[in-house]
Amino acid sequence: MRYAVLGTGEVGRTLGGRLVELGHEVRLGSRTPDNPAAAQWAAAAGAGAQAGTFAQAAAFGEVVVNAVGGRVALAALEAAGAENLDGKVLVDVSNPLAIEEGELRLSPVGSDSVGEQIQRAFPQARVVKTLNTVNCRVMVDPALVPGEHQVFVCGEEAGAKEQVVALLGEFGWPARRVLDLGGIREARAVEMWLPLWIGLMRNFGHAEFNLELRRAR
């Protein structure tokens, strides 16, 4: 499969690298055509890895992964171009975190989410929110963390979610550990997990953890 991964930060490079290892072709997209991090990534990731602009990457991908920060997701996707997103599965792994008044905060929060913003702005894209609840090393290697811990999907279209569940399976998340929360509105819920995730990271001293839901029945 051909993947566009938008974002050359740790999340984008990690997801893109793992997709290449899995045998996919990946074009890592950035704002500029000559991004050094993207070029270095493409050289190191080997055959199947290319770098380009957001638009070049999105045009290339059969599936588009949004791995830029949640606060700049709409700008990156505008640059990618609606015509390069229409009809495609758009996997959003971002969180809208930023420093405000000296504190790390989410925005939007509560009555909106990045997942919903993206779906509204690109109504022809098949947006699925997933993986934003774990660190990127855990995203692509869930066995780093012991236990039957889980990830979530939400989105408007069952077919797109099925395709994402299959991708998660390639990363090592069996379908039984992928919980479908419903429509894209539930992106609010998974994005609002982040403040607790950050508190736990501080408590544990590292980011390699996840939650396992335990149930009476």
- Write out the residues near a copy of itself by the rule CB under 8 A: 100-101, 103, 105-107, 109-111, 144-147, 149, 152, 179-182, 186, 188-190, 192-193, 195-196, 198-200, 202-204, 206, 208-217
Place of tokens 């792994």: 93
Q: What is the CA radius of gyration of the chain?
A: 16
Q: In this complex, which beta carbon is closest to a copy of itself, that of residue 169 or of residue 204?
A: 204
Region at 53 (left for phi over 0; alpha for psi -120 to 50; beta for the rest): beta
Q: In this complex, which beta carbon is closest to a copy of itself, that of residue 50 or of residue 210?
A: 210
> CA 85 to CA 38: how far, in whole Å?
21
Task: Tell me how far, at minimum, the Cβ of 135 lies from a copy of itself, in Å.
Answer: 10
Task: Tell me how far, at minimum, the Cβ of 47 lies from a copy of itself, in Å.
Answer: 31
Task: Tell me how far, at minimum, the Cβ of 116 lies from a copy of itself, in Å.
Answer: 12
Q: In this complex, which beta carbon is closest to a copy of itself, that of residue 81 or of residue 195?
A: 195
Q: In this complex, which beta carbon is closest to a copy of itself, that of residue 2 or of residue 105?
A: 105
Task: Tell me how far, at minimum, the Cβ of 196 lies from a copy of itself, in Å.
Answer: 4
Q: In this complex, which beta carbon is closest to a copy of itself, that of residue 2 or of residue 149?
A: 149
The residues, ordered by sequence, that sit 6+ positions from 49 with a Cβ below 8 Å of its Cβ are 16, 17, 20, 26, 28, 41, 42
Task: Tell me how far, at minimum, the Cβ of 157 lies from a copy of itself, in Å.
Answer: 18
Q: In this complex, which beta carbon is closest to a copy of itself, that of residue 55 or of residue 144?
A: 144
Q: In this complex, which beta carbon is closest to a copy of itself, that of residue 47 or of residue 213?
A: 213
> CA 197 to CA 186: how far, in whole Å?
17
Task: Tell me how far, at minimum, the Cβ of 176 lies from a copy of itself, in Å.
Answer: 13
Asked if 29 and 72 touch (Cβ cutoff 8 Å), the reply is no
Task: Tell me how far, at minimum, the Cβ of 187 lies from a copy of itself, in Å.
Answer: 10
CA dihedral sign of residues 121, 123, 125, 129: positive
The residues, ordered by sequence, that sit 6+ positions from 11 with a Cβ below 8 Å of its Cβ are 67, 93, 136, 139
Asked if 60 and 4 touch (Cβ cutoff 8 Å), the reply is yes
Question: E strands of 101-157, at which residues?
Answer: 103-106, 126-130, 151-155
